Amino acid sequence: MNAVGWDDLIDRHLARQAVERGLSPHSMEAYGRDLRDFQNWCRAKNLHPEQLDAAALTKYLEALADRGLAVSSQRRHLASIRGLARELVDEKIIERDPAPAIKLRPHPRKLPRTLSLADVANLIDAIDVTTARGARDRAMLELAYGCGLRVSELVGLQLQQVNLSAGVLVVFGKGSKERMVPMGGAAMRALKQWLERRDEIVNPSKVERRAKKVLPKRVTAVFVTRLGRAMTRQGFFKALKGWAAADPRTSWISPHTLRHCFATHLIEGGADLRAVQEMLGHSDISTTQIYTHLSKSHLRKVHRTFHPRATRTSTREGTIA
């Protein structure tokens, strides 16, 4: 079988993944990129699908390491290939799945960097809400932090997914899984203020110039741009960096940092891990457990507050403990 075989197999595999797992376009793009990289390596080595085995996979991973890819990136590539390998077994192109025999060295999981409660408050309060753009950006930050939304969930939010009277959002996460996320008072107030001004942000003159005098169809996305189109991931990233740039304590953040802050601050406040898992939309609680990295100062505070012998002055005879 020649390299065309890889083309057909990978195209069929990606199409099946999109249907069966309901993966987002962003995830599908990442899978496709990894598999095309693997296909190019196979073509250079003249490796046909029926020749795929553990030795070939090991050589491919070694090639990735030689290119300077970290172990975490190698794991991602291997995860993409695993699904394809299982499909080769199902189609009887190979007899045995080679992926289980591959063992990558363990690596410490990088802990997410977060902001303090004060830094989050300062970041949000710095936004000028006298303009429609500011009202939009404030609402986006409040929802990202107050509801723990992924950036794709935030920019993809539709008007029909918002229930202000009940104080909840209906969110479609990875694999199009639906979940209900409660909104806090600050997020609800910011969102309500934005929705009242949503139509103000569109600049008709710019829309007409861009669309040759034809106004765009009214979009149902909650967050829109001056061109009347749905906000994009890149657009939110740019807006966030603009507001954060003035303070060195926040200038490094990304949209996902706000999701990290949401989970970390909930757990530090005593929230149940299972409840946080549900709100984040994690299918496996081990993914949520990374947020149990509490700061030393927080641990000392908890110990000092709740342990009966944690105070410096003993309750007995006034001696020092």
- Out of 13, 136, 259, 265, which one is annotated catalytic? 259
Residue 174 among the catalytic residues: yes
Q: How far apart are CA 81 and CA 97, in angstroms?
A: 11
Q: How far apart are CA 29 and CA 15, in angstroms?
A: 12
DSSP 17-57: HHHHS---HHHHHHHHHHHHHHHHHHHHHT--GGG--HHHH
- Out of 13, 77, 138, 150, which one is annotated catalytic? 150
Residue 113 among the catalytic residues: no
Residue 298 among the catalytic residues: no
- Out of 12, 113, 206, 256, which one is annotated catalytic? 256
Residue 282 among the catalytic residues: yes
| Beta-bridge mates of residue 313 | 320
Minimal CA–CA distance to 63: which of 54, 79, 74, 49? 74
Residues 140 and 258 sit within 8 Å (Cβ to Cβ): no
Q: How far apart are CA 158 and CA 227, in angstroms?
A: 17
- Out of 31, 60, 145, 291, which one is annotated catalytic? 291
DSSP category for residue 213: T
- Out of 48, 174, 179, 189, which one is annotated catalytic? 174
Q: How far apart are CA 293 and CA 275, in angstroms?
A: 17
Residue 256 among the catalytic residues: yes
Positions annotated as catalytic residues are 150, 174, 256, 259, 282, 291
